[in-house]
Structure 1
Amino acid sequence: MVTIKKNEKTGLWWIRLSLGTDKNGKRIQAYFSSKRKQEVEFWIAEKMTARRDGTIGKVIQVRTMAQLFEVWLEDHVRLTKAETTYHSYQSIIKQIPEWFMKLKVDRVEAIHAQRLLADWSRTSLKASTINSRRAILVGMFSWAIRMNNYKGPNPFSAVSKLNEGLKEMQTYSAEQLATYLRTARDVMTTGNYAAVMLISYTGLRAREATALRWSDIDFERMVIMVKRTAIEVKGGHAFSNTKGKKVRVVTISPHVAEELRRIRTEQRYNSLRMGWRNEEDLICLGVNGAYLWHSGLRRRHIETVKAAALPSITLHGLRHTHASLLMEMGVHAKVIQERLGHADATLTMDTYAHVLHTLQSDTASQFEHLLERKRTAQPSGS
């Protein structure tokens, strides 16, 4: 996915494109800026056309895995995936051992893939995390095969996934969540509390919550328009499309609307008192109106859990808690799917299968009680 950015100081729209490598294996990069965004879009279209018809030197056969990863990231992932995905993959590649990065592409075999997974398993990485990385590498080699950068069977497809064991999803009961939120209101700054309150009551992802703007709230209709997610990179932050690349509408309760109005009033008061401005119109703010970083929010969450003397769950566990409680209430999986922004209801059902198991046990008992009442209600001898 290509993202056009705006320099707030100069007012210029700009883009930096990676267009493959030249005959010597050197990356081809091009930069363009203009006061008009449309001119930048036209420039991108021209460059991509030149890239396809061969005017710009096309990617030649790569030699090492390090080169292959670079070409895959810049020529495929950046242009076809969400920006958050690009940065996520970039982070994973940085954690691949040097011995693997130095391998000649045409020498990579299943034994090397197996060794890489084994190296990761000897660290603190969970089996589920390693399996997720394996799936990404399966996709990368499938792309390399299609691009004629790798010949032979996919080495990561030949390696089995690690045994993840029984998945235990840590969530809170309704009582525990209420305790957590009361404690958060007392011990967190307003911006941090706003984030965890929104995650708990709406099921937003953490970076969706920190990307919310006041203009995304419709207090008359009592809904939130989830339009973007926050991206954190070295040196700053930005905003991009949500994971599903779609705007979704999430309803809010009167209590959440009341809390948001209170937070907005407090935010405006602090802005006037301390002399800072909320330039990005964000709901969840850090100190002095700054962007609320995910790492800081995660630390405040851990501190709040300890202060509330509750079992430990992750920040993402608040989103799982929201969905699990909705399912226990009998809310249809399709409604929960749309609220969470899942691709389809099947993913929702698979993710919260543990809740369905509990509900099935209750259903069996309820059915038995129903028949028991019918039997006792029948007159004897009939």
Structure 2
Amino acid sequence: METVATGVRTAEAIGLQWKHIDFIKNEIIIKESLPIDPLGNGYTRSRKGTKTGNIRYINMSEGLRALLLCLKKPGDTLDTLIFTGPKGGTIDADNFRERYWAVVLEKQGVPYRTTYTTRHTMASHAIEQKMSLTGVAYLLGHTDTTMVMKTYGHMINRPDLPDIPI
């Protein structure tokens, strides 16, 4: 799942279908998610709108565009999920985390962190690159900048030391 490049929520990435990718406009349309159904058995997912009900358009980087083009298979339709489990079905986030995420982190010598950390990584990089708070909030799907300020306020306008000859 490509949450680190986009900042989308896990359920938004799991629910992405090819109809949400516009290679002509070079954007991803985030308007649905595939969260776990609270009335299901813990594995059942139900398609619904985003957490905040907003639709957002995320411009693809060249790398993300190339990745998505590599994932597209000849038989895929507009309704085909982009990210699937090993047998082609909906991703089980717990299974993904245990069988792939944790294994890759361990093999790379990286201390365990949740997959949700990738969302924070994207936001942190955006702030470090001086993206506006409204821009970061938009990419994350927040309705305003309140959550961005609460979560990342310590990073905002962090000054550099002046260049003093030593």
Query: Structure 2 length as normaliser, TM-score?
Result: 0.87
Match of 2:145 in 1: 345
CA distance in 2 between partners of 1:237 and 1:290 (Å): 11
Residue in structure 1 matching 2:83, options 281, 284, 308: 284
Task: Please give the residue correspondences for 1:182-331 in structure 2 after superposition, counting only pairs within 5 Å.
Answer: 195=1, 198-232=2-36, 233-234=40-41, 236-265=44-73, 268=74, 280-299=79-98, 300-331=100-131
- Once residues 311 and 207 of structure 1 are traced to their aligned partners in structure 2, the CA distance between those partners, rounded to angstroms, is 24
CA distance in 2, matches of 1:355, 1:279: 40
Note the C-alpha offset of 1:305: 0.9
Cα distance in 1, alignment partners of residues 70 and 78 from structure 2: 20
Check whether the contact 1:244–1:342 (CA below 8 A) recurs between aligned residues: yes
Aligned partners of 1:279, 1:247: CA distance in 2, in Å? 18
The 3 A distance-change label for structure 1 pair 255 and 237 is same
- Three-state SS of the structure 1 residue aligned to 2:72 is helix
Give yes or no for contact 2:18–2:78 (8 Å, CA) kept in 1: no
Alpha-carbon distance change, 278 to 297 in structure 1, aligned in 2, over 3 angstroms: farther
For residues 68 and 114 of structure 2, what CA distance do their matches in structure 1 show?
24
Which amino acid is the alignment partner of residue 360 of structure 1? R
Unmatched tracts of structure 2, length 5 or more: none
Q: How many Å apart are 1:221 and its aligned residue?
A: 1.3
Amino acid at match of 1:243: K
Deviation at 1:238, TM superposition (A): 1.4
The number of residues matched between the two structures is 160
SS at match of 1:249: strand
Runs of 4+ in 1 over 4 A off after TM superposition: 277-280
- What does the per-residue CA deviation read over 1:269-290, in whole Å, with 9 as the maximum and x for residues that have no partner? xx6xxxxx87941000112221
1:49-92 Cα shifts (integer Å, max 9, x gaps): xxxxxxxxxxxxxxxxxxxxxxxxxxxxxxxxxxxxxxxxxxxx
Q: Secondary structure at the match of 1:238?
A: coil
Residue in 1 that maps onto 2:158: 360
CA shift, 1:312, in A, is: 2.1
Separation in 1 of the partners of 2:78 and 2:16?
Answer: 13
Return the structure number with greater helix share: 1
SS where residue 106 of structure 2 aligns? helix
Asked whether the equivalents of residues 248 and 339 of structure 1 are also in contact (C-alpha less than 8 Å), the reply is yes
Amino acid at match of 1:230: L
How many Å apart are 1:220 and its aligned residue?
1.4
Instruction: Determine what percentage of the aligned residue pairs are the same residue.
Output: 25
Inter-partner Cα distance in structure 1 for 2:96 and 2:52? 23
- Flag the structure with larger Rg: 1
Read off the aligned partner of 2:158 and give its amino acid letter: Q
Q: In structure 2, how many angstroms separate the alpha carbons of the residues matched to 1:297 and 1:278?
A: 24
Matches of 2:78 and 2:138, distance apart in 1: 30
Amino acid at match of 2:136: I
Distance 1:297 1:288 in 2: 13
For 1:291, what is the secondary structure of its paired residue? Answer: coil
Kindly provide the CA deviation profile for residues 164-219 of structure 1, in whole angstroms up to 9, marking residues without a partner as x.
Answer: xxxxxxxxxxxxxxxxxxxxxxxxxxxxxxx1xx2010001111000000010011
Where do 5+ consecutive residues of structure 1 fail to align?
1-194, 272-276, 374-382
Secondary structure of 1:352's aligned partner: helix
* Alpha-carbon contact 1:278-1:289 (below 8 Å) kept: no
The whole-number CA distance in structure 2 between the counterparts of 1:286 and 1:336 is 30
Paired residues of 2:127 and 2:155 also in contact (CA < 8 A): yes
SS across alignment from 2:87: helix
Shifted more, 319-328 versus 292-301: the winner is 292-301
Equivalent residues of 2:19, 2:78 under 8 A apart: no
